[in-house]
Structure 1
Amino acid sequence: MTATLPSEVTATQALVQPALREAVGELRPAMRRIVSYHLGWTDEHGEPRSSGGGKALRPALALLAAQAVRAEPEAALPGAVAVELVHNFSLLHDDVMDGDTERRHRPTVWRLFGTPAAILAGDALLTLAVDVVERAGDPAATRCLTGSVHHLIEGQSADVDFEGRLDVGLQECLDMADGKTGALMRCAAQVGALLGRASPVAAQLLADFGGNLGMAFQLVDDLLGIWGSPEVTGKPVLADLRVRKKSVPVVAALDSRTADGARLRELYGRTDPPTEEELHTMAELIERSGALAWTRDRAQRYVAQAQTCLDRLHPPPPIHAALTDLTRFVLERDR
C-alpha cells in the first residue's frame, strides 16, 4: 500500500491553506488557538509547526470538481474551505465521543485542552463553515453543505447507537458509513461543481463520484482500523477491535452466518476488555469469515462506480487523470 497523494491533490494546498488560515483567523483568540493546534499548525503552546495536518482530500476534491466542469479552481474555494471546516468539526466531536487520546501522533484536543473546549471548538468550526459558504452567494451550495451536515450527524448517531447492539445489519452499517464519510465527500464534489456553475447533470455526476469515493474511503479506513500499522496510522494495533467497534468488516463477519462469525459475536458480546490474544483472534475470525475479502471487494466496487461517473462526465484530460489517481490513492492508502 502507499500513502502518497496524487500531485494534483497536493497542489491544491497552495490555494486552500491560505484561505483556510484566513477563515480560522476570524475566530476569537481562545478558539483560534485550539483549532490551530488541532489542524497541526501549532504545538500545545501556540508555537508554529512546520508539519502536520490531514490529507485535505475534501477541499482538493471541491477544487478539482470545479475544474472538471471547466471552471477556475478559485471559484470553488469557499466550498473547499467550508467542507474542510465541517470535516474538522466532526473530528473534534468524534474524538470526544470515541474517547480517542491521539490523532496524527499527537494528543487529541479534548485530552489536552479538556472536553468542553473540544466541543466548543467543533461548534465554532461548524458555524464558521456555514458563514464561509454563504458568502459565496449560492444558496444551492449552502443547502448542499448544511444537508451533508445533517447526514453526517445522522451517521455519527447511528455509530454511537451501534455500540450497544449486536444485531446491527450490514445494510444499516453501510448507511451509517454513507452518513459519516460518504455525505461530506459527496458534498465536496457537488459544492465544487455548483460553485463552478455546472449543469444539473454534471453536478449530479460529480456528487455521485464523491459519494462513491467516500464510501470506498470509509471501507478502507475500517480495514486500517483493524489491520493498519500503528506507526503509520497513529492508532494502536487492532484499534477498532479494542473498543469493539461495529465497523463494516466486523458487521460483515457478524452477518456472515459462519462459525467464525458466531465466535466473533461471542467475543463481541462480552463486557470485560479483550485480551491481546483475543484481539488477534477477532482479527483472524473476521478474515476467515470472508469479511476482509468482502470489504476489499466492496471498496473496489465503489471506486469502479465512481470511475463510471467520471467517464460519463468527460472532464478535461488532466482533471480526469487527477481524479482517477485520487480513486487509486483511496484504495491503496495506508493511513
Structure 2
Amino acid sequence: MSSPTTVRAGGPSAGSAALAEAAFAGAGSQEAADTARRTLARCRDLVRPSLSAAIGRLHPWQGEMAAFSLGWCEAGGGPADGAREGKGVRQALAVLCAEAAGAPGESGVAAAVAVELVHTFSLLHDDIMDGDGTRRQRETVWKAYGTGPAVLTGDALFALAVQTLAEAPGPLTAEAVSRLSATLSGLAHGQAEDLLFEARDWTGPDAVRLDEYRTMAELKTGTLLGCAAALGGLLGGAPGSVVAALDRAGRHLGVAFQAVDDLLGVWGDPAVTGKPVHSDLRQRKKTYPVLAALASEGPRAVELAALLDSGTPLDDAGVRRAAALVEACGGRDATLDEARRHLGAARACLRAVPLAPGAAHEIEALLGFLLHRSL
C-alpha cells in the first residue's frame, strides 16, 4: 500500500489558526448544537431504511449482533430503548456532502450505508483487539456473544459494505468502490500502527513521536471520515477538486475527533463515554495527551514515565496521579490545541471550494458539535 499523505494542522490557508480559534469559540453554541442534532437525526432517518435492509441480508445471527452493535436491540434480540444508538456521524457526512454537491441527500445513501457498515465492523474488531468490554454503557459484542461470533460478524459487515456500494446505480460505482477499498487498507494500516505502539518505549529513541501518532490517527479515524465525505460528494456529482477537498476535510476532522476521544479517555465522564474514568491510563494506552506530556521532558514527565513503565497495574491513586501529571505537563492543553488546529483546517478545506450553502452550514455546525460533545 502506498504511504498516506498525512494532513498537516494549519490547512490550506494562512489564517487557519485564527479560523480554528473562532470556530471553537462559536461551535459550542446552543444554536449550533441544536442544528447538529437535527441534522444527525434527519440523516439517520433518511439512511435507516437502506441500512436496515442491508443488515437484513446477513445471516440472522450475524444480523442480530450487527443490530446489537448499532444499538437497535439488546443481546438476544430484544428491543432497545433507543438511547444506545450512535450518532451516525459518517453516514451523515455522506448525505450532507451529496447535498453540498447540489444533489438530493438520497444520492449519498449508498455511500452512507457502506461507511456505516465499515465503521460498525471496525468497532467490533477494535473492541476485541483493545480488550474493551463496554461501549455505550453496556457490553461490547464480543463480551455479549463471544469473540468468534464478533469476529465473524465484523467480517460479514466488511464484505456487505463493499457489496452495497458495488450495487449502487450510476456510472461512478467503480470509482466509489475503489475509494472505499483504499480506505479499508488505510484503516488496517492505522490499526497495525496503533497495536505496534503498545510495544514501543515510553521515552528514548524508540518512543512514539507525536507526528507518528498523528499519522496513525489520520489512518485509523480520518480515512473513513474522509471517505464518507468524498463518497457523498462523488455520488452527488461533485467535480474532482471538490471531492478531494471533502476528503481532506474529513481527514482533518478525524485527527481532531481522535484528539477529543483521547481527552475523554483520560478525563471523560463515564456517563458520556460508557467507560470507567481514566480508562486509557489504566490500560496504559499511548494517546496524544500522554505522549505530549512525556515530550515536555520536565521532572514531572520523568515521574509520569516511571509510573507508566512500572509494570504493575495502576490502582485508583496511581491513575489519579498519572492524570494529574499529564495535565501538569501540558498534555491536556496540547491535545485541545491539536483538536482546534485540525477543526480549523477542516473548515478551511470546506470553504476553499464551492458548496451548496445550506448543506455547508449544516456540515460546519456538525463539525463543531462533534468536537464539543463532552468538552
1:50, CA displacement in angstroms? 3.6
2:277: which partner in 1? 237
- Residue 139, structure 1, aligned to residue 159, structure 2: no
1:324, CA displacement in angstroms? 1.1
2:24: which partner in 1? none
The 5-angstrom pairing of residues 123-134 of structure 1 reads: 123-134=155-166
2:328 to 278, 288, 297: 288
2:103: which partner in 1? 71
| Contact kept? 2:229, 2:250, Cα under 8 Å | yes
The 5-angstrom pairing of residues 174-193 of structure 1 reads: 174-193=214-233
Q: Which runs of 5+ in 2 are unaligned?
A: 1-27, 202-206
RCO higher in structure (CA 8 A, sep ≥6): 2
Aligned residue identity for 2:76: H
1:81, CA displacement in angstroms? 0.4
Could you tell me the percent identity over the aligned residues?
42
2:184 to 112, 134, 149: 149
| Contact kept? 2:187, 2:224, Cα under 8 Å | yes
User: TM-score, structure 2 length as denominator?
Assistant: 0.87
CA RMSD of aligned residues (A): 1.4
Aligned residue identity for 1:140: E
1:240, CA displacement in angstroms? 0.3
- Residue 170, structure 1, aligned to residue 210, structure 2: yes
Q: How many residues align?
A: 335
Deviating runs (4+, > 2 A) in structure 1?
A: 1-6
Q: Which runs of 5+ in 1 are unaligned?
A: none
The 5-angstrom pairing of residues 308-319 of structure 1 reads: 308-319=348-359
In structure 1, distance between residues paired with 2:140 and 2:276:
14
The 5-angstrom pairing of residues 190-269 of structure 1 reads: 190-269=230-309
In structure 2, distance between residues paired with 1:258 and 1:6:
42
Please give the secondary structure, in 1, of the residue aligned with 2:310: coil
In structure 2, distance between residues paired with 1:14 and 1:275:
44
Aligned residue identity for 1:202: V
| Contact kept? 1:6, 1:322, Cα under 8 Å | no
| Contact kept? 1:213, 1:303, Cα under 8 Å | yes
| Contact kept? 2:242, 2:354, Cα under 8 Å | no
1:49, CA displacement in angstroms? 2.0
User: TM-score, structure 1 length as denominator?
Assistant: 0.97
2:48: which partner in 1? 17
| Contact kept? 2:68, 2:77, Cα under 8 Å | yes
Please give the secondary structure, in 2, of the residue aligned with 1:12: helix
Aligned residue identity for 2:193: A
1:130, CA displacement in angstroms? 0.3
Please give the secondary structure, in 1, of the residue aligned with 2:237: coil
In structure 1, distance between residues paired with 2:301 and 2:119:
33
Residues 136-187 of structure 1, C-alpha deviations (whole Å, 9 max, x = no match):
2511111111111111111111111111112111111111111110110010
1:330, CA displacement in angstroms? 2.1
| Contact kept? 1:314, 1:320, Cα under 8 Å | no
